Structure 1
Amino acid sequence: MNRQYSPSDVCKRIMGIDESMRFVGIIKEKKVIAFARHPDKKPLLDTELGNLAHYYASVKASMEEMFDGPLGKTNWMITAKELVKLVTLFLDDGLLIFSIDVEGDHDMVIKKIQSLNMQL
């Protein structure tokens, strides 16, 4: 049986999955409803650019939906930058976004998150 978790608890639990984690957030209706940051890592974006990045992830995710019919449902997407990897996981009713250090193993982190099987 799956236990129900608050969005904040989900973010905190996911943040502890791997030391490469920098940020975890949950987006519903194009708004971040909960997030957690690694306490020892300085954010790479200021508040304004961070908010824009979260909104941009929502827009990109919405655009992916037009391909769901012919290609199947999108599970996750990644953007690899020079300094960080940005990952979006598709949930039934929103998005889970996270960033990891560029050398982090995003495949392993995604599998660990999916294995948590946490209900929001």
Structure 2
Amino acid sequence: MALYEHTFIARQDLSTAQAEGLIEHFQQVLTDNGGSVSDTEYWGLKTMAYKINKNRKGHYAYMRSDAPSAAVQEMERLMRLHDDVMRVLTVRVDEHEEGPSAVIQAKNARDERGPRRDRGPRRD
């Protein structure tokens, strides 16, 4: 079996619980077809660079899996048929990186820095 990283964007009008439910659904598709999912991340509702299907924002999700190619093809087929999924990206990798993805690391670094200082009252 090969190692894969999957990223998909769901419609903005879904709730967070529904977006996380999509992650669980597609994780189950992979496991039912002989694969395993090692890690999932919900990146949140993010603004996109351009509109997709009249949506300016989307729920981003990320999964790391070890699955046969048939399982990945079936999951991608179901994602493309699903009305709530707007875009899908699957990349085959040689090995999975340990720890959280770069998106989560950047978010944690922003949270640790605290509030921005330039947001105070103007001093003219």
TM-score, length-scaled by structure 1: 0.28
Q: Rg: which structure is higher?
A: 2
* Structure showing the higher strand proportion among its residues: 2
Higher relative contact order (CA 8 A, sep 6+): 2
